[in-house]
Amino acid sequence: MKAAATLSRKTILLMAIVTGVIVANLNFIQPIENLIAVDFGLTKSVVGALAMVTQLGYAVGLLLIVPLGDIFDRYHLIQVMIILSIGSLLLAFWAPNVVVFSVATTLIGITSVAPQIIIPYAGYLAPSHQRGKVLGIVLSGLLTGILLSRSFSGLLGSVLPWQEIYLIAAIIDVVLLVIVHFYLPRDARGHQNLHYWPVIKTLPRLFRQQKALRGSAINGFCMFGMSNVLWSTLAFYLADQYQLGSNVAGLLGLLGIAGVIAAPWIGHLVDQRSPRLTVGLGMIFSGLAFVVFWFAGAWLIGLIVGIILLDLGTQFSQVSNQAIVQSLNRHESSRNNSVFMFSYFLGGSLGTLTATTAWSHAGWLGVCLVAVAFLVLALIGHFVIGEPEKLGQVDA
């Protein structure tokens, strides 16, 4: 198969849009945590736990569903997951109490894994010398979905009942499903002669035998954990420090546009220079962000500068690590992505849980200290395990 002829600009753009729209489902809850807490009569720590179970559900989907991309036709699998995601969003819209909503938000996490089936598909189709750039574009769609979802949710939550956010998202996903059905390229591989449980059982082996995968998994765990440390507590901090609501939390999410713009350039830098360099830059940016939050978070300009730095750091890490992971065995690309993204969102859920707990006990200082702990772990992984100097020199 000639990958360069298979993956057109229109296809890359479509993949980027699909990843952005579907991943948005995971983040609707963050800017409206206060609204949900008031409506259901919950404490901040409990509503923080609801945000955490969404991330945990996503981690479970990454571990148990994404490997299906190495077994089944990805064109059909992506559509099935979008349909299931629509059902989960409708359940969240209807939820009459916190028990049903907690089930719905868990299912939203589990079923919103289509982007992580698309990403290895894009890596599979892309020519090797452009893989970082292609993944950078697709991942820019992913980050766009994340940041716009916060703005979408925060702004709508200020003028509509928060439940209607999930209804509107379900309608958007229905439209997306139709577009995907007609325009996403068919999977030339078709169905593979593989069985589910034997494939799932290979995941620990892949992690154990591939040094590059271990390094990316640990770095992704830490860097997304740092990102969620901020986003899981920002709504609380804005309400406490500035008496501002969910609409402002959503607007601040738009600052992540810096990461979106930078993503293709980061991918090019990975291709031409070194993923080890770009992973290191990601840690520097994210570390600087929390230095700013710590010393200047009491001023709105400090929050703005810190958010831009943090989103850049997260994007450097994500693009670099995805390029490393997708440069490994192409026949195991979905499973490698599953291992990496499971670790990534496990770190995100731990960041959410520890940050909301730290907020309850130690305020903003406690939140920043949690981020420092994630950064220290990332630095240990960087210097002990490391990343390849070049994608062509990946040492499995």
309-340: string of b/e by CB count within 10 Å (b at 16+)? bbbbbbbbbbbbbbbbbbbbeeebbbbbbbbb
Span 59-101, pLDDT tens digits = 889 888 988 888 888 889 999 999 999 999 999 999 999 899 9
**pLDDT on residue 323:** 86
Span 372-386, pLDDT tens digits = 999 999 999 999 987
Span 70-79, pLDDT tens digits = 888 888 999 9
**pLDDT on residue 6:** 53
The domains of the chain are located at 3-393
CB 251 within 8 A of CB 134: no
**pLDDT on residue 2:** 41
pTM of the predicted structure, to 2 decimals: 0.75
- Supply the DSSP symbol for 240: I
Cα angle: 82, vertex 91, 13; to 5 degrees: 25
For 3-393, CATH gives 1.20.1250.20
In this predicted structure, the answer to whether residue 22 has a pLDDT above a threshold of 90 is yes
User: What single string gives the DSSP state of each residue in 249-315?
Assistant: HHHHHGGGHHHHHHHHHHHHHHHHS-HHHHHHHHHHHHHHHHHHHHHHTTSHHHHHHHHHHHHHHHH
Span 307-359, pLDDT tens digits = 999 989 998 998 899 888 888 877 787 788 889 988 987 898 899 889 988 99
Main-chain dihedrals φ then ψ at residue 245, nearest 5 degrees: -105, -165
**pLDDT on residue 49:** 81
Span 168-208, pLDDT tens digits = 999 999 999 999 999 888 877 777 777 888 888 889 999 99
Average pLDDT of the chain? 85
